[in-house]
Each structure stands twice: as structure tokens, then as C-alpha cells.
């Protein structure tokens, strides 16, 4: 196969994290670099960052934004913060719904007799507590 330059393009994670890095830079008083904004921030591009690295960077930005008036920053910052808060709210609601479903399932299974559990094909290791 011939050589190509696919590896040189910023991937989706690099683009998203470069924006987070740019917003952290803005909080530190630096202007947004449009080249960095497109996925080429030096702390992100071609660094092989893992999900845990991305989560840590997003958490750092989230934590810092909780103590500032975001209206004093760029429109990009305001939109990112708005979207991030909406995603956090959805995630928390989904986690609460999953926990409720799991609790309801445990409660329902606890009501079954050993014979009913056998009829349903549930073994003794199925969680009931």
C-alpha cells in the first residue's frame, strides 16, 4: 500500500480535548488559538491520551468553571459549559434510573420461592439482596 497522511489528522478525541485544553488556557488568561481549537493543541495532539486522561482534563475544566462567572469568558466557553452541564444532568438521571431498576429487580427476585426461581431458570447465585 502507498503511504498516506491519515495519521496526521486530528481524530475526534483530539479535537474535543484540544477544545477543552484551549478553554483551560483561556481560564489562565491566554487567547484561544484557532489552530489548537481544531484539534492540534500541543498537550493533546498525537499524545495517545486515554479515556482516563480525557476524563481528568474535563473534570479539571468543570471544577474550575464552577467557581467563575462564565459570562466573563468567550462564547465557546459559555456554550461548552452549557452543554457539559446538560450532559452531566442526563448522566446523573440515567444512573439514578439504572439504580432504581436494579433495586426493583432485587426486590422482585427476593419475593420468589426456590421453586419459582427454578421455573424461571434462575440459579441460586442470582442476586436477591
76 alpha-carbon distance from chain centroid? 18
Instruction: Give yes or no for residue 119 having a pLDDT over 60.
Output: yes
Q: In sequence order, which ranges of the chain are alpha helices (DSSP H)?
A: 12-27, 34-35, 51-65, 75-110, 114-119
82-114 tens-digit pLDDT: 999 999 999 999 999 999 999 999 999 999 999
**Does 128 have pLDDT greater than 60?**
no
CA-CA-CA-CA torsion for 59, 65, 67, 72, nearest 10 degrees? 170
Q: Would you state the pLDDT for residue 10? A: 85
Q: What is the pLDDT of residues 42-81, one digit of tens each?
A: 999 988 889 999 999 999 999 999 999 999 999 999 999 9
- Tens digits of residue pLDDT in 2-37: 776 666 788 899 999 999 999 999 999 999 898 899
* Rounded-to-integer distance, Cα 50 and Cα 68, Å: 28
Per-residue pLDDT at 94: 97
* Domains of the chain by residue range: 6-68
Q: Which residue has the cell 500500500?
A: 1
- The structure's pTM equals 0.74
C-alpha cell at 36: 489548537
Amino acid at each position: 500500500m502507498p503511504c498516506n497522511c491519515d495519521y496526521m489528522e486530528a481524530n475526534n478525541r483530539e479535537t474535543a480535548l484540544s477544545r477543552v485544553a484551549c478553554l483551560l488556557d483561556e481560564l489562565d488568561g491566554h487567547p484561544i488559538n484557532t489552530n489548537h481549537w481544531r484539534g492540534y493543541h500541543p498537550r493533546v495532539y498525537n499524545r495517545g491520551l486515554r479515556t482516563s486522561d480525557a476524563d481528568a482534563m474535563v473534570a479539571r475544566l468543570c471544577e474550575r468553571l464552577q467557581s467563575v462567572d462564565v459570562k466573563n469568558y468567550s462564547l465557546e466557553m459559555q456554550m461548552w459549559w452549557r452543554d457539559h452541564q446538560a450532559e452531566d444532568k442526563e448522566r446523573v438521571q440515567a444512573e439514578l434510573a439504572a439504580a432504581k431498576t436494579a433495586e426493583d429487580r432485587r426486590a422482585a427476585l427476593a419475593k420468589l420461592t426456590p421453586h419459582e426461581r427454578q421455573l424461571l431458570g434462575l440459579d441460586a447465585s442470582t442476586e436477591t439482596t
